[in-house]
Amino acid sequence: MAYQVVPDGTLIISQLGSDEQIEIQSSAIIEGSTQSVSDPSFKGDEQQSVINFSANTDFGTFMWSVEISIGASGMNIDNPARVDLPPNVIIVQDVTFIEKEI
């Protein structure tokens, strides 16, 4: 079985001082680059990577970096973190990142 990391849920955002909210479905979040953070030639340990995701909105661009590890026991999502947030924007509800079988 093969798996990939995908966003799940709905990102709901608002600007400071405004009651207007924008909803961005997880399907609108785009997977970007993947960077290996461990030596893939070392077979005795898990391989660690960081996958970048982004979403363009009326309020600006949001970016997430999701750390994953892949080893004999499968894939683990270690640390999803939002790394870029447009100024004056409030997160009402964030997305999560899950494993999806492909």
pLDDT at position 42: 57
Span 46-100, pLDDT tens digits: 788 899 999 999 889 999 999 998 877 778 887 778 888 889 999 999 999 999 8
Span 22-59, pLDDT tens digits: 999 999 999 999 998 866 555 556 788 899 999 999 88
Is residue 9 predicted with pLDDT exceeding 90?
yes
* pTM of the model as a whole: 0.84
- Going through the chain in order, the beta strands assigned E by DSSP cover 3-8, 10-15, 21-25, 30-36, 47-57, 60-71, 74-84, 89-93, 96-101
CA distance 100 to 56: 23
Domain ranges (residues) in the chain: 3-101
